[in-house]
Amino acid sequence: MMQQTLKCLSVLLTYPSQELQDARAEMSTLIEAETRLSGASKVALLDLIRHLGETDLMDLQAHYVSLFDQGRDLSLHVFEHVHGQSRDRGQAMVDLLALYRSQGFELSAHELPDYLPLLLEFSAQLPEPEARQLLDDVMHVIALLGARLARRDEASAAIFTALAELAGCPAALADKQDEVAEEGPNETLVNMDKIWEEEAVTFMSSPESCQQGSQGQAGVTPIQWVPRKSSKQAAGHNSSVDGGS
């Protein structure tokens, strides 16, 4: 059941289409039946689905572009919030692509592997424990995006609340609210170093997660957040490669 819900959330987070609007009844049924979601989360998602089904498609598409495609603060590309445009992002992409291929999940030529709806679609094909682990591994980004959307009173924040609940991290978004409250409009670049100063990304079993004791299964190498040098430390090691992937 969780896999179907993840697929539904993936679709809700993609560029609006007629197919999405036509599937609203099916998606509503899935959300209503998902026992891992709180009542409040279900209501918010059902309201979002109803809004997507009743609003003019061109208006939905224009709003989507203005929200997710015109700035880095709400980019749906996970590594944008970790590596920016640094060379570390390229290696992280390679590692994530290898993870997909290890499970027989192939991308088309125009898809970037760190696109969150794609990551959710991939997680929907995994057994539930592995899917929860993968969500947990990217919870830092999910919580950050969810908190920013909630601050803007965007209905799509419900998707990120649901993801936190499915991962077993219902308080994750609340934990990011203080950080987000300090941000000015569209100031992702200004606040990037502060938000991610102590975190980088690599691909191995995570020793610490909001799911105590959770472990990745054989053949699946989830994402792990690990400390990396601050900008001052890195300045003294110009010849070395950063500790992230």
Residue 200, H or E segment:
strand 200-203
Q: In this structure, what are the phi and psi dihedrals at residue 167, rounded to the nearest 5 degrees?
A: -80, -10
Q: Do the domain assignments include residue 108?
A: yes
Contact in structure between 218 and 130 (CB atoms under 8 Å): no
Q: How many domains does the chain have?
A: 1
Determine the structural domain holding residue 167 and report its residue range.
Answer: 2-235
Portion of the chain with pLDDT greater than 70, in percent: 70
245 lies in some domain: no
Q: Which of 133-137, 189-193, 212-216, 239-243 has the lowest mean pLDDT?
A: 239-243
Residue 224 has pLDDT above 60, yes or no: no
Residue 94 lies in a domain: yes
Question: What tokens does 185 get?
Answer: 């409009």
Q: What is the pLDDT of residue 57?
A: 97
- Beta-bridge partner residues of 223: 203
- What is the C-alpha to C-alpha distance for residues 118 and 7, in angstroms, rounded to an integer? 10
Summarize pLDDT for 87-126 with one digit per residue, the tens: 556 667 777 888 888 888 877 767 788 899 999 999 999 9
User: Which pTM was predicted?
Assistant: 0.75
pLDDT (0 to 100) of residue 31: 97
Q: How many CA atoms lie within 13 A of 46 on its CB side?
A: 15
Instruction: State residue 185's pLDDT score.
Output: 60
pLDDT grade, residue 46 (50/70/90)? very high
* CA–CA gap between residue 91 and residue 97 (Å, rounded): 10
- Write out the two tokens for 46: 């059902």
- The pLDDT tens digits of the residues spanning 135-170 come to 998 898 999 999 999 999 999 999 999 999 999 998
pLDDT at 190 exceeding the cut of 50: no
Q: What is the distance, to the nearest Å, from the Cα of residue 46 to the centroid of all Cα atoms in its chain?
A: 20
Tell me which of 22-26, 70-74, 167-171 is least confident.
70-74
6 near 124, Cβ under 8 Å?
yes
Neighbours of 224 (CB within 10 A): 19
Q: Which residue has the higher pLDDT, 107 or 37?
A: 37
What mean pLDDT, rounded, does the chain reach? 77
Q: Which structure tokens are listed for 54?
A: 């009743």
| E strands present in 73-171 | none
> Between residues 182 and 239, which one has the greater pLDDT?
182
DSSP H or E segment with residue 30: helix 24-33
Using one digit for the tens of pLDDT, what is the confidence trace for 206-218? Answer: 445 565 433 344 4
Residue 28 has pLDDT above 90, yes or no: yes
Residue 225 lies inside a defined structural domain of this protein: yes
52 in a structural domain: yes
In a domain, 241, yes or no: no
Q: 169 lies in a domain?
A: yes
Question: Distance between CA 112 and CA 109 in Å, rounded?
Answer: 8
What pLDDT, on a 0 to 100 scale, did the predictor assign at position 237?
A: 38
Asked if residue 104 is part of any domain, the answer here is yes
CA 28 → CA 6, 37, 38, 237, distances in Å? 13, 13, 15, 53
